[in-house]
Amino acid sequence: MIIIFKFIKDKLTKKSIEREIDIEKAPKHVGIIMDGHGRWAKKRGLPRSAGHRAGAQKLRVITEYAKSLGVKYITAYAFSTENWKRPKAEVDSLMELLLEYLRDRDQLAGKDVIIRVIGDRSALSDEINREIDIVEECTKDREGLVLYLAINYGGRQEIVRAVKDLSKQLKDGEISGEDITEQMISDRLYTPDVPDVDLIIRPSGELRLSNFLLWQSAYSEFWFSDINWPEFTEKDFAGAILDYQNRNRRFGGV
Ligand code: FPP
């Protein structure tokens, strides 16, 4: 059965999928766990860094396309709090790539995209922090989609940060423990004004969340695919949006 569905899907064109999409029902917030860069590079006899570069290029293509499908926010997982465990040479090359893309904001996300960074910036170099400030300032008045780049980001670390903030207010007597609500945690996350993530896309065949948007994904829909991120296409993205629209989101109701 799955093979028949896959066959039908493969026969569809990007245009025919787009015709089925109802922009009004598009997910407002899409999370992307960019993955499979190393495997993509290995298949081509290239260094892992080439895979990361191809992944970064793909982010711009998909971000621009997402805008045309009515998506308002994308959060892309660029570097997790756990990625420091990778060999130093790979971490250094990822930081170099981030710096290069932050310096060239249109290469990062296209012309009409607001770029913001979430994550613990204290471990990032002064140079990267400076470029983040510049890119956020230079894109803040743009209209359209907001791209959140998660750098040195971890969902648990984000929740701990919110709890620490609350505990300070508790200690200062500004709030009492009984008053704490879910909303008060949400308000202390990196993106308090952004709707919870509606759809999380993870390519490359991995079926996990990897500490991504833990709080915000309580009722997210998930879309997995075997395709490595560098070869992910606009058609794949359109397919994910259409699948999302055909799901029945009940949020715990009936
Ligand atoms: C996981 O693939 C990917 C990462 C840990 C890094 C993702 C980062 C980028 C694409 C660069 C982001 C930069 C910008 C400017 C957006 P993997 O390396 O684990 O691949 P594998 O599982 O096939 O080895």
Q: List, for residues 197-231, the tens digit of each pLDDT value.
A: 999 999 999 999 999 999 999 999 999 999 999 99
Atom of ligand 1 nearest to the CA of 101: 15
Q: Does residue 176 form part of some domain?
A: yes
Q: Does residue 13 form part of some domain?
A: no
Count of the separate structural domains present in the chain: 1
Q: Does ligand 1 lie within 6 Å of residue 232's CB atom?
A: no
Q: Tell me: pLDDT of 164 over 90.
A: yes
Q: Is 35 in the active site?
A: yes
Q: Does ligand 1 lie within 6 Å of residue 38's CB atom?
A: yes
Burial class from Cβ neighbours inside 10 Å (0-12, 13-18, 19+) for residue 213 reads buried
Given 10, 22, 83, 120, the catalytic residue: 83
Give the pLDDT score at 28.
98
Q: Which domain holds residue 61?
A: 26-245
Q: Does residue 118 form part of some domain?
A: yes
Name the pLDDT band for 144 (thresholds 50, 70, 90).
Answer: confident
Give the pLDDT score at 127.
98
Q: Does residue 8 form part of some domain?
A: no
The protein residue with its alpha carbon nearest to ligand 1, atom 16, reads 56
Atom of ligand 1 nearest to the CA of 80: 5
Q: Does ligand 1 lie within 6 Å of residue 37's CB atom?
A: yes
Read off the pLDDT of each residue in 33-62 and give the average, rounded to a whole number.
Answer: 98
Centroid of ligand 1 to alpha carbon of 79 (angstroms): 7
Q: Does residue 143 form part of some domain?
A: yes
Give the pLDDT score at 248.
86
Given 10, 35, 141, 187, the catalytic residue: 35
Query: Domain with 237 in it: what CATH number?
Result: 3.40.1180.10
pTM of the model: 0.94
Mean pLDDT, the chain, rounded, equals 95
Give the pLDDT score at 5.
57
Read off the pLDDT of each residue in 54-69 and give the average, rounded to a whole number.
Answer: 96
Atom of ligand 1 nearest to the CA of 55: 10
Q: Does residue 20 form part of some domain?
A: no
Q: Tell me: pLDDT of 1 over 70.
A: no
Q: Does ligand 1 lie within 6 Å of residue 59's CB atom?
A: yes
Tell me the C-alpha distance between 14 and 17, whole Å: 5
Name the pLDDT band for 108 (thresholds 50, 70, 90).
Answer: confident
Q: Does residue 65 form part of some domain?
A: yes
